[in-house]
Amino acid sequence: MISTEDRYGYALKFTGLPFGTTGRELTELLKRSDAKSVVILRNPKNYNLLKYATNKDMLTEAASLELKIKGSILFWLNLNEKACHACGSPEHIAKDCDKERQIKPKYLNRTQALSQFKKKKSFSYADVTRGGINNRRRQQSYTNNNHRE
């Protein structure tokens, strides 16, 4: 059995990956670097893929390669080196990053957040029972699906 020291003795952090990049998309890049394995870790809170992977063996040769994927420049770093969480660059941290950030609207409460989905016209019970084109279609599909021969 391989010890943890042996497994991560020649490991690099791969930063700058676009969000959602999978190991399958990295296979060609990893073949060029003679990587023996890749592990893309997942965020324990939401199970999304994290933006880094570890690479074993051929440490210096792999680190000298300049790679791009989907227009993003990729960086090879030691595991303990810090990098920007937004773009992956080792030259700055996220608060100093010039990459355009996606600003999510801040809601005061749950009702306010759900209001964007509830902008449909509301119908009264009388409107629904009165029937219309939508109601007739619904009845036709119901009789067609439940018709026994």
Q: Encode pLDDT of 81-131 as tens digits.
A: 888 877 778 888 888 888 776 676 676 677 777 777 776 666 777 877 776
List all residues 6 or more positions away from 25 whose beta carbon is below 8 Å from its beta carbon: 69
Q: What is the pLDDT of residues 3-52, one digit of tens each?
A: 666 655 666 666 777 777 777 777 777 777 777 666 666 767 777 766 54
Residues 115 and 92 in one domain: no
pLDDT, averaged across the chain: 69
Regarding whether 87 and 132 lie in a shared domain, the answer is no
Do 92 and 122 share a domain, yes or no?
no
Q: Is residue 66 part of a domain?
A: yes
Distance between CA atoms of 70 and 118, rounded to whole angstroms? 36
- What's the pTM? 0.39
54 and 119, same domain (yes or no)? no
The answer as to whether 20 is a domain residue is yes
* Domains held by the chain: number: 2
Whether 102 is covered by a domain: the verdict is no
* Same structural domain, 22 and 54: yes
Give the closest residue to 34 by CA, choosing from 13, 61, 12. 61
Q: Give domain status of residue 101, yes or no.
A: no
Residue-range definition of the domain harbouring residue 56: 4-96
13, containing H or E segment = strand 11-15
